[in-house]
Amino acid sequence: MSVLLIFIHVIVCIALIMIVLLQTGKGGDMGAAFGGGSSQSLFGSTGASTFLSKATTVAAVVFMITSLALAYMSSNQTGKSIMTNTEAPMSAPAASETKPDEAQNTPKTTVPSQQQQPESAPKK
């Protein structure tokens, strides 16, 4: 099911890109190059919608539906893992084991921190 949905999603994505690239922009006629395209308003009426604008709308709706369906399917996957049949690696035993009495009798040694002085300090 998910393979079919991914296939549809990729096909619609490619179709949406191609449909958008085939469309001409607003004022894309020859008069716009010489300043004649200013009579059209930016968000005004554009007349009857073309086939490409309807196809863009349909492709965008299908793209959004497949995107939401894929997101829903991937978020609800439980129990599926590639690591279900493998066992956890065994941990190696510690190299040196100390008895609790020895750990308490061991003196704690502290190493004084060595601060590095700059080689040439500015002289005043």
Coil, strand or helix: which one is 73? helix
For the chain, the residue count is 124
Q: Which amino acid is at 109?
A: T
pTM of the predicted structure, to 2 decimals: 0.50
Would you give per-residue pLDDT tens digits along the chain (124 residues)?
A: 889 999 999 999 999 999 999 988 766 555 555 665 555 555 555 566 789 989 999 999 999 999 999 999 888 777 666 777 777 777 777 666 555 555 566 556 665 555 555 566 566 5
89 — alpha (psi -120 to 50), left (phi > 0) or beta? beta
